[in-house]
Amino acid sequence: TSPTLRFRVQNRQYIEHMLLTWNKTLSGYLCNNATLGLQTSLIALGLQGKNVAVSNFTYAATLQAVFSVGAIPILCDVNLETLEIDLVQLKILIKSMGYKLDALLITRPFGTYRDYKEIIDYCEQNNIKVVIDAAASFPAKSNYYDAGDYLEVYSFHPTKPYSIGEAGLVVG
C-alpha cells in the first residue's frame, strides 16, 4: 500500500479509537458523515421496507437516511417542551397506527442529552429497534443505559460542537 493510504488508515483508526475510548463505548466505527452512519445503522438492523418512527422535528438528512434505505418513515409528534419524542407521544403513535412499528429513530436536537432509558426499555419490551440521531450531541456521554440496547450516530461536521472536518461516528 502507498504511504499516503497507510497514513490515512492509521489516522482514521487512531481517531476512531480515541473517540470510542473517550465515550467509553466498546464498539463503533467512523464513517464519512452522520447521514451515512444513519443509513448504515438502519441497514445493519434490517429495516429495509420496515416502519420507522421519526421525530417530526428533525433535520432533512434524518428522513433522507430512512427513505434511502427503503424504510418507511412514520412521523411522530414531539413533546412541545423538549422538542423530542417522549414515551407518551410514542405510545399515541403506536396505538393510532394499527400496524407494527419496527424501529424508532430519535433525534437529539440542539445537542441536548436527555435520558431515554424509559423509551429504550419500552422499545426493548415491544421488539422495537432504536437508533438515536445524536448529530449535534457529541461530546455528551450516556451513562444510564447499555450502549448495546441501541445505535447512536454522531456528526463531526464543521457546524457541530466538535468538528474534525466531515465525519460521523456510529456507536452501539
Three-state SS for the chain is CCHHHHHHHHHHHHHHHHHHHHCCCCCEEEECCHHHHHHHHHHHCCCCCCEEEEECCCCHHHHHHHHHCCCEEEEECCCCCCCCCCHHHHHHHHHHHCCCCCEEEEECHHHCCCCCHHHHHHHHHCCCEEEEECCCCCCCCCCCCCHHHCEEEEECCCCCCCCCCCCEEEEC
Q: How confident is the model at residue 25 (pLDDT cuts 50, 70, 90)?
A: low
Residue-wise pLDDT tens digits, 56-93: 998 889 999 999 999 999 999 999 998 989 899 999 99
**pTM of the predicted protein model:** 0.82
Q: How confident is the model at residue 122 (pLDDT cuts 50, 70, 90)?
A: very high
Q: What integer pLDDT is reported at residue 72 of this predicted model?
A: 96
